Chain A
Amino acid sequence: MRRVLIVSSLAMVVIIGQALPALATDLGEYLERAAASEYSGEILVICDTPEGTVAQFVEVARSGGQLWVRSSSNEAIAANGELYQRAADGTVHATRIDSAAVWEVSPRYAPLEAGEARELERPVHVVTVMEGDVERVRLHFDDATGALLRSEVRNGDRSLYCSSSFVSFSEDSQSIDASVTQGTPDTAQIVDFSDIDEEALPAEVGGFKRLDAYQGPEDSTVAYYSDGVFSFTVMASRRAVRIPELEYAPITEIAGERYQRLFQPGLVVYAWESRVGGYALIGDLPLDLQVAVLSDLPRAGRPGFFARLWRSWFG
């Protein structure tokens, strides 16, 4: 009898093992449904960083494909490459960007169905995104609306990096304030794709593909990279890039080089000067991917006196 039990247990293990690939799921379908969902509520975003915890409550609403986000200091509406942001003083800034790039998830990730759960007393579908044996992302999708009620992002060492979860949720999206998109914005930037030297930034960085490159301010080039789960943009200039908000940000050492780094809830920003020019990076990368990406870009390091002199005189 005991032998029969052992054999049947082994058989179950084999059957479950063979059935595992069937649990693989299409992450794109879930995210598209989430993008089309309608809701309003309040989200708490918390990130654990080497400089402490950064956290923020924000009001959100989604309707007609538009995502509206309001924090204590400003509000923004984003959809289809357009972002309108209204500052506390009432000024509105608009940004528009086009892209023909196709979104796809890198083969290094395996999205898997991870069962059912409850979030805010609502039934949810849980999807995990595995990278090898590391659970990179855990997503809780609301069964009724498809909205993403909770997401957790982990570092390569499995520690939690960021979580974003609704603390209140309503299927009513009427609270969305679209007035920010009406009228003429006070300032606007329309991203220019003309005459871009795409080779200014590599086609692949740390396993991320360059999807777009476009003209940044003055002589700079900006490229957008994504692996389908995380993304970032890099700005490269022949001159040193200075971001006033980072002036007194903590300096961090990566591979022995010094970078200015600022964590915001859900975002990280870097600025550094290399021997070939200045760089800035903004993205949602977990800690180990930040290191992987920075290691693939020109390293921080102050150019020599004559290099700086040459650059300042002849570009």
Chain B
Amino acid sequence: MTHPSGLLSAFLDGEVTGEEKGRVAGHLATCPACRDEFNDLTFARTAVRSLLVLDLPPGLLPSEGGVAGVLPHTRRPPVWIAAAAAAILALFISFATILAPPTTLEVRLDQLSDQYGARTSLEPAITPRPPVPVLERVAGPIE
């Protein structure tokens, strides 16, 4: 089989037939150059997928008529109502910030996968899984 460079991207996108998938996997098993290219593509895909996705500002979105950049004209409430609302909101946020504990529990993926991996090592498993990539583990005291 010639090098399936053109098929590697489609392979990773799940856009190849079962027969093509078998051919590509078989070729990758024997061709170090294609495997390097495959690993580079996998790395690039992972990097692209980890990029932040930003929404377009509303003013740049096309309107129903298909013209972008036109914001609807709205009537503003009186200034004193907005000021009072802002003051109440600021007071509320201040109290909430002072009194409330953090509402989010942050867990690292490797912490979760290590516990799962350690637990599954007690049982017969049908798939040896690749370890989850450790990006930047924070060193800490040993419990």
Contact = CB atoms under 8 A, between A and B. Distances in A.
Interface of A: 28, 31-32, 34-35, 43-46, 48-49, 52-53, 55-58, 60, 67, 69, 71-76, 78-83, 85, 87-89, 91, 93, 95-97, 99, 103, 137, 139, 148, 151, 153, 162, 164-165, 167-168, 184-191, 212, 216-220, 222, 224, 226, 229, 231-233, 235, 237, 239-246, 248-250, 262, 264-267, 269, 278, 280, 282-284, 308-309, 311-313, 315
A270 B5 CA distance: 33
**For the complex, would chain A's binding face be called helix, strand, loop or mixed by DSSP majority?**
strand
Given A76-B117, A97-B118, A187 B134 contact: no
Contacts of B67: none
B76 interface: no
Interface of B: 11-14, 21, 25, 28-30, 35, 38-39, 42, 45, 49-53, 96, 99-143
Contact of A28 (B13, B103, B124): B124
Nearest to A212: B119
Contact of A189 (B29, B115, B120, B129): B115
Contacts of A151: 126-127
Nearest to B13: A52
A95 B114 contact: yes
Nearest to A250: B49
A32 B122 CA distance: 11
Nearest to B112: A282
Contacts, number: 233
Contacts of A241: 104-105, 107
A69 B131 contact: yes
B104 A242 contact: yes
A197 B79 CA distance: 52
Most buried by B among A53, A190, A262: A53
A188 B143 contact: yes
B114 A184 contact: no
A55 B113 contact: no
A226 B126 CA distance: 13
